[in-house]
Structure 1
């Protein structure tokens, strides 16, 4: 193991000559972004030819995408926002061509709202279901009111070619645990941007699970709007066969006395399996008292699999509590396997135990027992497939 007022809203556009990651071009107009070539730093790991039109903005066919939710707990509502609603784009402004394509292509947005001071007794679950391999665009707005405390699960299943944006606004003193599960069909393609904004003393725990799909590219960004914000971002992914699973984060510390922690773990098996993790943390000059750390670990289970891992720190002030990063990629620890096999455990069972242990810490971050058990079973099913 490796050590509802409807108005016309035009998102602002920032300079195309950034000094830092946070100052990169942001615009809701896809025309403001040049065509992708694959040579750009942000896209050099992504196989553009497998994105089925999302990179070019010239999709061949459309598909359906629907949201399902049953038995939402008290304090949580799901509704639709018309295109142009002022709540769309308050937190998220597209950062690249595909995000802008999804922003402009979405007919409106789905609003998931948690009422101020609400503390639902049960998690709220929303399922996003793709209805075909054609192109879909989607926009989701999550609003968590002041001093609310909630757990939200968003599961994504079915076939699709999807460009979608998710903006999450967590008000002062609120706490949100968000679990997103990309368990798409094997032919699905997704490029997603999730943007969090944390108010004063707000806390977010995001667990991002990626198992299904042919090509999944997920970008998660965080900004702080008040002191005391605390963001923990966890990721669990398992690439099988020739899957491409790519995860990127940008945590922008621009406010004093905020904290962030990023911890992603992935496993790979199969000739052609490819995972990418790029973690960017920016500590701006004004962000004194920042405490941040990021780590990525990858477990390579077979020949032909490739894991790219790139942690980055950009620090503009030395008046911080701490900042660090780490990355490790490797195969099974031979000593662990030997220890288990020496006690009569067959090799395939020993491998299963090691991988289950590798992911156990992240699975425990999911406070929904049934989902946690189901994901554990899915991981073991993939391991059994690799042993065949």
Structure 2
């Protein structure tokens, strides 16, 4: 694979310290963003706002207006091993208290949700199998989702949330990882081609706790997932992994904000995506804030995009904001490149058919991320889906 740019650095904002030791926070700090449970506090996006400039907001109008759930059009099922419980109830005014809506779509979903689904892992539990929550939409049903996931202290668990079908979905996901717990959360988007999905994931990571947050997006007309992470104690760890594949006309957008405030925490973000077909568009925005109090922080974020055909576009924006120099390490990298025809020729020259060779190159591109997921059934599912996508890869002029 030949990359057009080996490394693209996003803006790095370093706070200037005063004599008192306090850090100056720039006006454009991510810490200053608006958050509110009230829909009225957010205007309907017009696409000129920084947070919405990449998004086709006109196609998302249904998710910017308050509207009731169509519960008859959505099926939710759960497989829960010992130590995990799932319940459904009336949403509380602040849910788990982990996150607050940061845009209009999230506020609309919060205000309009009629049911909150809670998935709880008991303290100290270590289920042998993943807990699986399946959400299936029918006939463009309206879903205002509110999912609360709590991992009890010193538990160790894997939770999979799988989305499929036809839906108009605005959702909020709260994730509370208590002290000493280890949680792997996998969110899979395999929606039909007419689906809209805008979600905000908010995670709180306790002292010496760890969260592996994995996003797999392979379907939907427009999918936009914003993930926000904060730490409530020292020694917390966040690993954010993502895989996405956009076809013609699809818009797949992933945004992350990791807020380092306590000292001696770490974060590692790595997302990879492939695009093919006219109008395929992916967006990745990664923001990391290291506050003045977050000495000993170690953080890195990576995004790679592989453009398989003409007419596809990938936008990638890494941002790193640092208010203290007392850190272990901080960095970011982003690159977007075209499919490498030399690799394809090399494989074909050794007797490998073109379609198989193409599949091998793309599989190799995703392998470093997929292997880190560590959930065998999810890994197999991802690679099978990628193979299905590649089965319809149109031939470029360069291939001919």
- In the TM superposition, 1:9-24 aligns within 5 A as 20-24=29-33
Q: Deviations over 1:223-252 (max 9, x none)?
A: 000000000000000001110000000000
Please report how far the alpha carbon of residue 89 of structure 1 lies from its aligned counterpart in structure 2 after TM superposition.
4.5
Q: What is the match of residue 381 of structure 1? A: 388
Task: Pick from 74, 81, 92 the counterpart of residue 89 of structure 2.
Answer: 81
Q: What TM-score, normalized by structure 2, do the two folds share?
A: 0.90
Q: What TM-score, normalized by structure 1, do the two folds share?
A: 0.92
Select the structure with the greater relative contact order (CA < 8 A; seq sep ≥ 6): 2
CA distance in 1, matches of 2:28, 2:54: 23
Q: Provide the aligned C-alpha RMSD in A.
A: 1.7
Q: What is the match of residue 330 of structure 2? A: 323
Q: Deviations over 1:316-373 (max 9, x none)?
A: 1111011100000001223322321221112221110000111112222333323321
Q: What is the match of residue 48 of structure 1? A: 57
Task: Pick from 236, 255, 258 the counterpart of residue 251 of structure 1.
Answer: 258
**Does structure 1 retain, via aligned residues, the 8 Å contact 2:69–2:114?**
no
CA distance in 1, matches of 2:361, 2:315: 22
Q: What is the match of residue 105 of structure 2? A: 98
CA distance in 2, matches of 1:119, 1:65: 30
- In the TM superposition, 1:29-178 aligns within 5 A as 29-55=38-64, 57=65, 62=70, 64-70=73-79, 72-84=80-92, 88-178=95-185
Secondary structure at 1:53 match in 2 = helix
CA distance in 1, matches of 2:37, 2:68: 22
**Does structure 2 retain, via aligned residues, the 8 Å contact 1:207–1:365?**
no
CA distance in 2, matches of 1:67, 1:366: 24
- In the TM superposition, 1:281-296 aligns within 5 A as 281-296=288-303
Aligned length: 372
**Does structure 2 retain, via aligned residues, the 8 Å contact 1:52–1:59?**
no
**Does structure 2 retain, via aligned residues, the 8 Å contact 1:272–1:304?**
yes
**Does structure 2 retain, via aligned residues, the 8 Å contact 1:239–1:268?**
yes
Q: What is the match of residue 309 of structure 1? A: 316
Q: 2:37 matched to 1:28?
A: yes
Please report how far the alpha carbon of residue 100 of structure 1 lies from its aligned counterpart in structure 2 after TM superposition.
0.3
Q: Which runs of no fewer than 5 residues in structure 2 stay unpaired? A: 7-25, 396-400
CA distance in 2, matches of 1:272, 1:278: 19
CA distance in 2, matches of 1:364, 1:268: 20
